[in-house]
Structure 1
Amino acid sequence: MNLMPENIKKSLFKLSGEDYSIISVGSKKIQFYFSTIGLLVLLILLFSFVSALYFTEHLFHNFFADIGVGLVWGYVVTNMYVLLLYTITPEILPIRIRKKDKYIAKSITFNISMVYRIFVVILLALIIAQPLNVLILKPGSKALAYDIKYLLATNPIASINSFIVIAIFLLPIYFKYSIRNLGEFYEKKAVIEKRIIEDDYKDFKIKYSIQLENNILKFNNHVWENLTPFLEKLEKRNPSVYKKYFDEIKEELINEKTEKYEYWADPPFRTIKRVNSTVNNNEADLLELIYQDNTLVEK
């Protein structure tokens, strides 16, 4: 695997359904795993092409139509598979689940969504495997659907072939979860993705504050426009009362600087509930609360 040209290795890394730029700086063992996954995806592409080619041969009996449909079908199935493979990955970002009345941070790798995606992978493998069974075992009939049904009912080799194809489709998933135990790739990926999310969230908070301040400004201007005619009338009749209310309104309608309040100690992941603290009437408790809040915000 080390003798493989770099451009071929990068292509295999991309087919693995993970970020090839992170894989490229990983250890040789990590690169070997992902290269193997890429080779399996190439094998799946070949299976898809041959399966579609043999299937369409029974429909069109035309060489160019068979080749065209085979290429399109192989491309579609492989892209669907790579997309599923990219989504079937160990959890690398903090998530939260509710347990009774508390939220706790936990890494969940097996859930309903995962079962559904694996089911789709197995379904694709079964669809691809059946025309291959007919091609390999050649039962003799010209009705493809009948041949598929007949082989599965009477020939154990057809079932074995189907399981082999399913295993090839599932092996990359197994390898991806095995890579997690090596303790290198997903740690780097988690750092990068976490930084991207945190940077985006900081940008969001800035835009949020600007938008809120603009809304406050518009509201204040709108209130001043509505009150001005009445204040002008009041000024003519009773300047002292006018001055009193004018100062009160001016004090209330301040264009304040705002900042989004965080209910969680680790935004934007929201896995740690922020602790509500009370302050006693002494300076030490006040300083402790201030520094504690600053620590929570920095996290």
Structure 2
Amino acid sequence: MSSLLKAIRNRLCKLSGEDYFIISKCSNKIQVIFSLIGLLVLVILLCSFASALYFTEHLFHSLIADIGVGLVWGYIVTNMYVLLLYTISPTLLPTKIRKKQEVKTNRFQLTFSMELRIFIVVLLAVIIAQPLNVFVLKPNSTALAFDIKHLLATNPLATLMTLTVVAIFLLPVYLKYSIRKLGEFYVEKEKIEKRIITDDYKDFKKEYRHLLENNITNYNKSVWKNLMPLLTKLEGINPVAYQKYFNEISSELVPENIEKYEYWADPPFRTIPKSKTKKCSF
């Protein structure tokens, strides 16, 4: 592959919305798929710009305003789309299905949240497609809203164009799903996400342990400060009792080494209780 084509592919991969550092470590096949996703994102940007440009032309009749609104609208739609596309991915971290107590990863789950995101993607596609329908099928329109309804009701090409735009919006979702079957990208991404969470959890436990130990030390100092005047008086009255209580207090007010008890065998993901691992051990 020539350096120019490779540079173009790398640029398109960055438009896909995924971590380019991980993509660059994958095979050429996966990089080509991500570059295709990036190309579709670029097409969506151009469609959004053209749609907004034609729509605002009917409102402002000013080239500067049309271009400005078109750029802003295209930028907003594309960023929303890339964000939605980024969130449409298989579950990478361990999760537990409570009924069956199973741990499942690397699956696309058709949850309400996933359905809502796909619905928003389709809605954006339908909105973007309507001014384009009028621009292609009735370019001399003077009543944009009426012509949109009329074309959808009477012209099959308008429906076909709308479905084509919807397909362009949904195709990257399908491509991301197909990447899951190849395993390479999401396996690497899963490792990175697990490592980040595990490292942060270790840092949290370390910081929390130091905090508790410092609080205990400060508490011990405060107790000693309050008890010493009383112990000093007791020493003058009854040295034996003083020594007894002094030793007891000294044995109680000692620095503590705090260790967080882990109920789960796989913290911080909390999918496997320790009791299960004990039952399986020999």
TM-score range, shorter chain: over 0.9
Note the 1:195-234 alignment, pairs <5 A.
195-234=195-234
| Structure 1 stretches of at least 4 aligned residues deviating more than 3 Å after TM superposition | 1-4
Secondary structure of the residue aligned to 2:103 is strand
Match of 2:104 in 1: 106
Equivalent residues in 2 for 1:132-211 (5 A)?
Answer: 132-138=132-138, 141-211=141-211
* One-letter amino acid matched to 1:33: I
Query: CA separation of 1:146/1:139 partners in 2, compared to 1, >3 Å: closer, same or farther?
Result: farther
Q: List per-residue Cα deviations over 1:30-86 (Å, max 9, x = no partner).
A: 111111111111110010000010011011100111111111111111111111111
User: Which amino acid in structure 1 is aligned with residue 129 of structure 2?
Assistant: A
Q: Distance in 2 between matches of 1:271 and 1:178?
A: 27
Partner of 1:281: none
Correspondence for 2:273: 273
Unaligned runs of 5+ in 2: none
Distance of aligned partners of 1:94 and 1:235 in 2 relative to their CA distance in 1, 3 Å threshold: same
Which secondary structure does the structure 2 equivalent of 1:160 belong to? Answer: helix
TM-score, with length taken from structure 2: 0.92
- In 2, Cα distance between equivalents of 1:25 and 1:129: 36
Shift of 1:140: 5.1
- Give the Cα–Cα distance (whole angstroms) in 2 for the partners of residues 217 and 104 of structure 1: 43
AA in 2 matched with 1:109: F
Aligned letter for 2:49? F
**Structure 2 Cα separation of the partners of residues 144 and 200 of structure 1:** 54
- Do the aligned residues in 2 keep the contact of 1:139 with 1:147 (CA within 8 Å)? no
Alignment partners' CA distance in 1, 2:138 and 2:211: 69
Q: Distance in 1 between matches of 2:155 and 2:204?
A: 61
CA RMSD of aligned residues (A): 2.1
Within 5 Å, which residues of 2 pair with 1:39-188?
A: 39-99=39-99, 103-107=101-105, 109-110=108-109, 111-138=111-138, 141-188=141-188
Cα distance in 1 for residues equivalent to 2:276 and 2:251:
30
Match of 1:227, SS state, is helix
Deviation at 1:90?
A: 1.2
Q: Which amino acid aligns with 2:144?
A: L
- Determine the C-alpha separation between the residues in 2 that align with 1:161 and 1:12: 25
TM-score, normalising length from structure 1? 0.87
Partner of 2:53, secondary structure, is: helix
Is contact 2:94–2:271 with CA below 8 Å preserved after alignment?
yes
- How far apart in 2 are the matches of 1:171 and 1:48? 16
User: Does structure 1 residue 238 correspond to structure 2 residue 223?
Assistant: no
What is the CA-CA distance between 1:170 and the residue it aligns to? Answer: 0.6
Note the C-alpha offset of 1:176: 0.4
What amino acid maps onto 1:215 in structure 2? N
Question: d(CA) in 2 for partners of 1:226 and 1:142?
Answer: 87
List runs of 5+ in structure 1 lacking aligned partners.
279-291, 293-299
Residue identity over aligned pairs, in percent, reads 65
Aligned length: 278
